[in-house]
Amino acid sequence: MSKQVSVLSASRKDVCSLEADIAFFEARLSLAGDAPDTMYQLAQIKTYQTLGVLVGDTLKTLKPKLGSAGKTKPPATA
């Protein structure tokens, strides 16, 4: 079971998936509105806000790694 969990967590750490997750959270938050009608909606808003922050932080840590991995020096121009 732990091997399966590690494979799943590793596969979710790609940038496209994280960006899609953030878009989903933003869509859910926009549907919930600014003033929740029920405690369930309030819990849902807090959950999606927290998940959005956590996923955003993970995305910020991955992007610099991806950006520096494929960089090479540009050719010198004279």
The answer as to whether 72 is a domain residue is no
The answer as to whether 35 is a domain residue is yes
The answer as to whether 17 is a domain residue is yes
| Greater pLDDT, 34 or 76 | 34
What number is the average pLDDT over the span 21-47?
87
Average pLDDT of the chain?
76
Full domain range(s) for residue 58: 2-63
The answer as to whether 78 is a domain residue is no
The answer as to whether 75 is a domain residue is no
The answer as to whether 22 is a domain residue is yes
The answer as to whether 23 is a domain residue is yes
In total, how many domains does the chain have? Answer: 1
> Could you tell me what percentage of the chain is helix, strand and coil, using 3-state DSSP and rounding each to the nearest 5?
75, 0, 25
pLDDT band, residue 78 (cuts 50/70/90) = very low
Instruction: Indicate whether this model's pTM tops 0.75.
Output: no
The answer as to whether 70 is a domain residue is no
Range with lowest mean pLDDT among 15-24, 34-43, 44-53, 59-68: 59-68
